[in-house]
């Protein structure tokens, strides 16, 4: 049974198909599970953020209610006192009655603009004229809630709730103030056994960032509140709770709730310590898709590795070995590979045989081509030598000096072509040729034709290799210039210099010698101007330029052209 099963598996391509089918089939399920889990956790986070603001208000509900009650009381008291032209003895009764209704108040008082307080709930008289906070209340007559760590009357930390008093004409006559004991309205410890979050810090702030109440009065706000929170702009983040960066002790939530127009409740919540099982439950939603994917990948990996991958790797190794070393490796156990892989191996073997056969044929063609090129160059050189000999015969028979000069120039050019082809014949079989060797043979052949003595021409040629098609126009340009110099009688030692250099892919050929009529600036037409025109034509074939410089009795011809691409 096992053998039949193995035969069925080896006779098909189920390795890759099984792995890919399992992965594709489980991919929607895995993606859906992860997405649903992520959405569920996101909804939990959103619900947590929404509930934090309400829980923060619940934690300080009694304290905020006291502040709101004080705000309403001072507004009502200011309205009552504004109806009297000048608060009299009944002012003390009103503030005393209000103090009895508000047990958290340490002082209820009316303070005129002069600053001398005579109407207070405790019967004390105090002059607020020099108090900075009182001056602020007078300068900007508007309802205020302030925090004073040292109340001038009670001597303790108080929360001041004030409201301006205006007379019948609308002119401010004084200020009504209620001082609430800070200890009586400070936030208490908040706990809820049904939630996983607890407030780590609670504080109420005014719209200008002034701290009123704090669950930890000894801790400065800048140590408890992240640096990114701008206390001067709490309205921007009000009612938008958000998660804070993990400070190493767990996730935190920042919540800012707008209590009134100028009063904000800021709270920082931290997750309660969780047991191991609670922490594990946070990853439980991801456990099912993860385990499913792991099982699917394990099965797909085993099936594909056993049935397909090992055979493909063996085939890849033999291909790579053939590409790098031209050696063909045997593939073991290929008989058990799927049908498609065996067919691929057969196609590979056929392709290798075809490549080897075509490479052998191509090598034979290259050898034949090299032999043909050598033969063409050899016969071209011989033909040019015959043409030059015939032209020398006509020159000996000609009596016209002009005709003899024309024949001399033609003979020089033909000899230069013959020397170039002879050099290419000896250098054939290579992708590129040594230009310096070609030019050296051309100069040597011209010296033999003109009968120039040894040492007349100095050659400084850098070893430069280029494609063969660049050799012909460069050799002809050299023959034109050197032939003009060699035509002068009585040349001394080093009279002619030939330099070939290359720098930054720019090739320069300089031929220097005595000033000859062909290279003078005034020579622009006629037979004497022919060498200049021909050199420019040869330079154009190389995409270069020709320039002639005359200095201190010497004429220098310079041919500059770029190195052809691909050489």
CATH code of the domain in which 258 resides: 3.30.450
| pTM check: above 0.85 | no
Render pLDDT for 479-528 as a digit per residue (tens, 0 to 9).
888 888 888 888 888 889 999 999 988 999 999 999 988 888 888 888 78
Give the pLDDT confidence of 88-97 residue by residue, as tens digits: 678 888 888 8
| Residues making up the chain, counted from first to last | 567
CB 518 within 8 A of CB 484: yes
Residue 10 inside a domain? The answer is no
Q: Kindly indicate the confidence band of residue 249, based on its pLDDT and cuts at 50, 70 and 90.
A: low
Q: How far apart are CA 466 and CA 564, in angstroms?
A: 8
Instruction: Dihedral sign for Cα 124, 125, 131, 133, please.
Output: positive
Give a yes or no: residue 295 inside a domain. no
Q: How much is the average pLDDT of 191-206?
A: 65
Helix (H, G, I), strand (E, B) or coil at 76: helix
Same domain (yes/no): 419, 523: yes
Mean of per-residue pLDDT scores for the chain: 76
Domain CATH for 108: 3.30.450.20
Where do the H-state alpha helices sit in 84-209? 90-101, 132-139, 182-185
Q: Are residues 410 and 540 in the same domain?
A: yes
Question: Is 177 in the same domain as 74?
Answer: yes
Average pLDDT over residues 44-71: 73
Strand 211-214 and strand 144-148: the pairing is unpaired
User: Where among 273, 292, 325 does a domain terminate?
Assistant: 273
Domain boundary among 169, 185, 201: 185
Q: Distances in Å between the alpha carbon of 220 and those of 156, 254, 264, 415? A: 19, 17, 17, 103
Q: What is the pLDDT of residue 196?
A: 64
Positive or negative, the CA dihedral 493, 496, 499, 500 is negative
| Residue 302 domain flag | no
Output the pLDDT for position 239: 72
Same domain, 387 and 249: no
Residues sharing a CB contact under 8 Å with residue 555, sequence separation 6 or more, in sequence order: 512, 513, 514, 515, 516, 519, 520, 548, 549
Provide mean pLDDT across the span 369-378. 71
d(C-alpha 15, C-alpha 27), whole Å = 18
Q: pLDDT class for 184, splitting at 50, 70, 90?
A: low
Q: Which of 273, 301, 324 is the last residue of a domain?
A: 273
Asked if residue 96 and residue 212 are part of one domain, the reply reads no
Domain shared by 178 and 192, yes or no: no
Residue 348 lies in a domain: no
- Same domain assignment for residues 110 and 257: no
Give the position of tokens 């045989």. Answer: 353
pLDDT, position 17:
59
Q: How many CA atoms lie within 13 A of 173 on its CB side?
A: 17
Number of domains present in the structure of the chain: 3
| Segment among 31-45, 120-134, 543-557 with least mean pLDDT | 31-45
Give the neighbor-by-neighbor strand order of the sheet with 211-214: 211-214, 197-206, 263-271, 252-260, 242-244
Q: Is residue 90 domain-shared with residue 226, that is, in the same domain?
A: no
Q: Is residue 180 part of a domain?
A: yes
Q: What are phi and psi of 560, to 5 degrees?
A: -120, 130
Does residue 192 share a domain with residue 180?
no
User: Same domain, yes or no, for 172 and 217?
Assistant: no
Q: Do 122 and 230 share a domain, yes or no?
A: no
Answer yes or no: is 92 within a domain.
yes
Distance of CA 374 to the CA centre of its chain: 56
Among residues of the chain, what percentage have pLDDT more than 90? 7
The verdict on residue 106 lying in a domain is yes
Whether residue 245 is found in the same domain as residue 149: no
Range of the domain at 230: 187-273
CB under 8 Å to 26, separation ≥6 — which residues? 292, 293, 296
Confidence of residue 545 (pLDDT cuts 50, 70, 90): very high
Q: Which of 266, 132, 137, 256 is nearest to 212 (CA)?
A: 266
pLDDT-derived band at 260 (thresholds 50, 70, 90) equals low
In a domain, 1, yes or no: no
pLDDT, tens digit (0-9, with 9 covering 90-100), for 413-459: 777 667 666 666 565 556 678 888 888 888 888 887 777 888 888 99
| Average of per-residue pLDDT across 100-115 | 83
What pLDDT does residue 12 have?
Answer: 44
Which of 80-84, 184-188, 526-530 has the highest average model confidence (pLDDT)? 526-530
State the Cα–Cα distance between residues 134 and 113, nearest whole angstrom: 9
Report how far residue 151's alpha carbon sits from residue 564's, in angstroms, rounded to the nearest whole number: 95
Can you say whether residue 155 is alpha, beta or left, with left for phi > 0 and alpha for psi between -120 and 50 degrees? left
pLDDT of residue 387: 82
Q: How far apart are the first and last CA of the chain?
A: 67
Domain with residue 527: its CATH number is: 3.30.565.10
């Amino acid at each position: 049974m096992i053998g039949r099963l193995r035969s069925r598996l080896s006779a098909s391509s189920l390795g890759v198909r099984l792995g890919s089918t399992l992965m594709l089939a489980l991919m929607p399920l895995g993606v859906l599970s992860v997405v649903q889990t992520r959405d569920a956790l996101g909804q939990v986070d959103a619900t947590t953020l929404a509930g934090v603001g309400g829980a923060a208000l619940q934690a300080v509900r009694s304290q905020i209610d006291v502040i709101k009650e004080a705000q309403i009381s001072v507004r009502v008291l200011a309205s009552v006192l504004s109806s009297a032209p000048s608060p009299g003895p009944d002012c003390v009764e009103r503030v005393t009655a209000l103090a009895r209704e508000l047990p958290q108040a340490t002082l209820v008082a009316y303070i005129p603009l002069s600053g001398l307080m005579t109407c207070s709930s405790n019967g004390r008289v105090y002059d607020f004229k020099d108090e900075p906070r009182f001056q602020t209340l007078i300068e900007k007559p508007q309802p205020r809630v302030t925090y004073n760590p040292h109340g001038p009357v009670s001597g303790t930390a108080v929360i001041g709730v004030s409201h301006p008093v205006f007379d019948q004409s609308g002119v401010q006559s004084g200020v009504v103030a209620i001082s609430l004991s800070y200890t009586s309205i400070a936030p208490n410890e908040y706990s809820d056994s049904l939630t996983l979050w607890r407030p780590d810090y609670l504080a109420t702030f005014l719209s200008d960032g002034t701290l009123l109440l704090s669950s930890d009065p000894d801790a400065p706000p800048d140590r408890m509140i992240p640096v990114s929170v701008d206390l001067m702009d709490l309205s921007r983040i009000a009612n938008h709770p958000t998660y804070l960066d993990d400070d190493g002790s767990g996730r935190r939530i920042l919540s800012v709730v707008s209590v009134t127009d100028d009063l904000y409740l800021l709270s920082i919540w931290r997750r309660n310590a969780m047991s191991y099982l609670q922490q594990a439950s946070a990853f439980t939603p991801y456990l099912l898709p993860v385990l499913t994917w792991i099982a699917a990948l394990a099965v797909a990996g085993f099936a594909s590795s056993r049935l397909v991958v090992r055979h493909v790797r063996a085939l890849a190794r033999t291909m790579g070995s053939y590409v790098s070393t031209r050696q063909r490796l045997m593939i073991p156990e290929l008989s058990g590979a799927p049908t498609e892989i065996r067919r691929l191996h057969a196609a590979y073997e056929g392709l290798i045989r075809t490549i080897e056969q075509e490479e052998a044929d191509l090598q034979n063609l290259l050898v034949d081509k090299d032999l043909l090129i050598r033969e063409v160059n050899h016969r071209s050189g011989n033909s040019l030598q015959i043409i030059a000999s015939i032209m020398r015969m006509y020159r000996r028979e000609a009596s016209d000096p002009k005709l003899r000069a024309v024949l001399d120039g033609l003979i020089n050019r033909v000899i230069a072509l013959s020397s170039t082809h002879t050099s290419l014949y000896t250098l054939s079989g290579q992708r590129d040729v040594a230009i310096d060797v070609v030019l050296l043979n051309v100069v040597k052949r011209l010296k033999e034709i003109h009968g120039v003595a040894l040492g007349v021409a100095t050659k400084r040629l850098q070893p430069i290799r280029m494609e063969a098609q660049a050799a012909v126009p460069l050799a002809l340009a050299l023959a034109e210039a050197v032939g003009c110099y060699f035509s002068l009688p009585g040349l001394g030692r080093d009279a002619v210099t030939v330099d070939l250099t290359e720098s930054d892919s720019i090739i320069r050929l300089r031929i220097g010698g005595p000033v000859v009529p062909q290279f003078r600036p005034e020579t622009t037409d006629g037979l004497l101007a022919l060498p200049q025109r021909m050199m420019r034509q040869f330079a154009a074939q190389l995409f270069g330029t020709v320039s002639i410089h005359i200095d201190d009795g010497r004429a220098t011809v310079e041919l500059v052209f770029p190195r052809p691409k691909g050489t």
